[in-house]
Structure 1
Amino acid sequence: MAILISVVLTGGSALGKKENVENSLESIHEVATRSLGSLCVTEQFRSLSVPLDTLIFESARQKADLAATLLQDLGVAHHNGLQDAISKNLLVSDKMVLSARVLAINASTGTLVNCAWWQRQGLEMGGPKKIIETGMDAGHRPNTDYPWYEDADSSPGLRSPKFVESPPNVAYKGWWTYPYYSCLARRWLISYSVPIPPPGRRGLKGFLSLDVDVSHLEVNQCEAKSSKRFSNEISVFHGSHKCHNSTSECVYRPILNTMSWTRGRYQCACRPGFYSPHHDGLFNGSLVEVAWTEYVENSSRSWETIFQCKRCAPGCHFCKDPSPCLATYHWPFRITLLVFSIFCVLCTIVLNVYMFKHRKLKVFKVASPIFLSITLFGCATMYLEMAAIFPVLDMYSCIATKWSRHLGFCVTYTALLMKTWRVSLTYRVKSAHKVKLTDKQLLQWMVPILLVMLIYLGTWTLSDTPTAEEIMDNDSLRFKQCTYNWWDHSLAIGEVLFLAWGIRVCYNVRNAESLYNEARLITYAIYNIAIVNIMMIAFQLVIRVLKGQGDQWDNRARSRGVTASFSLNGIGLVPEEAPDLYQENEELKEEIQKLAAQIEFMKIVHMEMNNRHVKPKSGGYFTTLNAPTVVHSPLTKQGCILSQSKPPEEL
Structure 2
Amino acid sequence: MIYLLFLFTAATFTYRLNNETNGEQTQEDTIIVHYEDGHWSTPYFDCGGGNIWMMTYTVPFLGRRPNGTYYFKGTSGLDIDLRAIDINQCIDDNNTNISKEENIFSDTDKCDRASQTCVFIENLGFRRGSYQCVCKKGFYFPQPNNGENYYNGTILEEQHDLKIAGRENIYDQLICKRCGEGCSECTDDRSCIFTFNWALRITFLVIQCLTIVAMIPLFIFTFQFRDVKVVKAASPVLLRIILIGAVFLYCLALVGYGVPTVMRCTLMQWFKEVGFSTLYGALLLKTWRISVVFRVRSAARVRITDMDLIKRLGLIIAVSLFYLIVRTVVSPPTVEIGKSLHDLKAYQCSYDWWDYAANIGSLEGGMASELEQ
The residue type equivalent to 2:169 in the other structure is S
Displacement after TM superposition at 1:404 (Å)? 3.8
Q: Which residue of 2 aligns with 1:277?
A: 143
CA gap of 1:275–1:336, structure 2 versus 1, over 3 A, is: farther
Q: Which residue of 2 aligns with 1:470?
A: 338
Contact 1:468 1:482 in 2 (8 A): yes
Contact 2:208 2:253 in 1 (8 A): yes
Out of 200, 222, 226, the residue aligned to residue 333 of structure 1 is: 200
CA gap of 1:233–1:407, structure 2 versus 1, over 3 A, is: farther
Q: Which residue of 2 aligns with 1:34?
A: none
Displacement after TM superposition at 1:501 (Å)? 1.3
Alignment of 1:42-441 (within 5 A): 83-85=3-5, 126-129=34-37, 186=55, 230=97, 232-233=99-100, 242-243=111-112, 245=114, 248=115, 250-253=116-119, 267-272=133-138, 274-278=140-144, 280-291=148-159, 294=162, 297=166, 299-301=168-170, 303-304=172-173, 306-309=174-177, 311-312=179-180, 316-321=183-188, 330-348=197-215, 354=220, 362=227, 371-391=238-258, 400-426=267-293, 428=295, 430=298, 432=300, 435-439=303-307, 441=308
Contact 1:338 1:386 in 2 (8 A): yes
- Matched-pair identity in %: 21
Contact 2:243 2:279 in 1 (8 A): yes
Between structures 1 and 2, the one with greater strand share: 2
Q: Which residue of 2 aligns with 1:504?
A: 371
Displacement after TM superposition at 1:335 (Å)? 2.0
SS at match of 2:35: coil
SS at match of 2:176: coil
Per-residue CA shift, 1:389-425, capped at 9, x if unaligned? Answer: 5445566655555544444222211133234434444
Displacement after TM superposition at 1:346 (Å)? 3.5
Q: CA RMSD in A?
A: 5.2
The residue type equivalent to 2:338 in the other structure is E
CA gap of 1:241–1:339, structure 2 versus 1, over 3 A, is: farther
Displacement after TM superposition at 1:341 (Å)? 1.2
Contact 1:410 1:450 in 2 (8 A): yes
CA gap of 1:324–1:230, structure 2 versus 1, over 3 A, is: same
Distance in 1 (CA, whole Å) between partners of 2:168 and 2:184 is: 35
Stretches of structure 1 that go unaligned for 5 or more consecutive residues are 1-75, 90-122, 132-179, 188-216, 508-651
Distance in 1 (CA, whole Å) between partners of 2:315 and 2:96 is: 59
CA gap of 1:346–1:229, structure 2 versus 1, over 3 A, is: farther
SS at match of 2:4: helix
Per-residue CA shift, 1:306-326, capped at 9, x if unaligned? Answer: 5332534x6544222467766
SS at match of 1:300: coil
Output the TM-score relative to the length of structure 1: 0.36
Displacement after TM superposition at 1:339 (Å)? 1.3
Distance in 1 (CA, whole Å) between partners of 2:4 and 2:275 is: 94
CA gap of 1:365–1:483, structure 2 versus 1, over 3 A, is: same
SS at match of 1:251: strand
CA gap of 1:467–1:455, structure 2 versus 1, over 3 A, is: farther
Per-residue CA shift, 1:280-303, capped at 9, x if unaligned? Answer: 543345534544555674613463
Q: Which residue of 1 aligns with 2:23?
A: none
CA gap of 1:267–1:308, structure 2 versus 1, over 3 A, is: closer
Per-residue CA shift, 1:479-501, capped at 9, x if unaligned? Answer: 64666665554443332221121
Displacement after TM superposition at 1:445 (Å)? 2.3
Displacement after TM superposition at 1:362 (Å)? 3.1
SS at match of 1:84: coil
Per-residue CA shift, 1:582-631, capped at 9, x if unaligned? Answer: xxxxxxxxxxxxxxxxxxxxxxxxxxxxxxxxxxxxxxxxxxxxxxxxxx
Output the TM-score relative to the length of structure 2: 0.57
Distance in 2 (CA, whole Å) between partners of 1:310 and 1:495 is: 46
CA gap of 1:453–1:381, structure 2 versus 1, over 3 A, is: same
Stretches of structure 2 that go unaligned for 5 or more consecutive residues are 8-31, 46-53, 57-86
Distance in 1 (CA, whole Å) between partners of 2:317 and 2:291 is: 21
CA gap of 1:362–1:490, structure 2 versus 1, over 3 A, is: same
Out of 305, 310, 313, the residue aligned to residue 446 of structure 1 is: 313
Name the count of aligned residue pairs: 302
Distance in 2 (CA, whole Å) between partners of 1:399 and 1:280 is: 48
Distance in 1 (CA, whole Å) between partners of 2:261 and 2:139 is: 18
Distance in 1 (CA, whole Å) between partners of 2:148 and 2:324 is: 47
The residue type equivalent to 1:300 in the other structure is N
SS at match of 1:271: coil
Displacement after TM superposition at 1:465 (Å)? 3.9
Distance in 2 (CA, whole Å) between partners of 1:359 and 1:243 is: 74
CA gap of 1:302–1:340, structure 2 versus 1, over 3 A, is: farther
CA gap of 1:258–1:283, structure 2 versus 1, over 3 A, is: closer
Distance in 2 (CA, whole Å) between partners of 1:434 and 1:273 is: 75
SS at match of 1:378: helix
Larger radius of gyration: 1
Per-residue CA shift, 1:73-132, capped at 9, x if unaligned? Answer: xxx9xxx9xx433xx69xxxxxxxxxxxxxxxxxxxxxxxxxxxxxxxxx9x7434479x
The residue type equivalent to 2:35 in the other structure is G
Between structures 1 and 2, the one with greater helix share: 1
